[in-house]
Structure 1
Amino acid sequence: MSKKIDDRMINMWEHQREGVWDNIRFNMGLVFEKINSNSINKIE
């Protein structure tokens, strides 16, 4: 029984960790887009 619970906790943790990395990648993408649009505006 405890083994089943352990597996479930590990699966939840793995899934959460993937979600966190997706959020970080998404936020980094937004930051880079902002930097790029700002530098383009400055050049013009």
Structure 2
Amino acid sequence: MTSLGSYFIVVLSYRKNRTVSTLIFIKTIKNRILYLRMPFTKT
């Protein structure tokens, strides 16, 4: 049971980290698009 529980926790944490990294990736892409759309006078 303990090995199965630890495996389950590892899988959950891995999925959580993956979703967080995906959200950060999307956020950086959105920020980059906004930065490219912004007029160059605004720095």
TM range (shorter): 0.7 to 0.9
In the alignment, what sits opposite 1:36?
Answer: 29
Identity value in percent:
16
Q: Which amino acid aligns with 1:24?
A: N
TM-score (norm 2): 0.83
Q: What is the aligned residue count?
A: 37
Give the 5 Å matches for 1:8-27: 8-27=1-20
TM-score (norm 1): 0.81
Deviations 1:4-25 (CA, angstroms, capped at 9, x unpaired):
xxxx000000011000000000
Structure number having the greater helix percentage: 1
Q: Which amino acid aligns with 2:15?
A: D
| Residue ranges of structure 2 left out of the alignment (5+ in a row) | 38-43
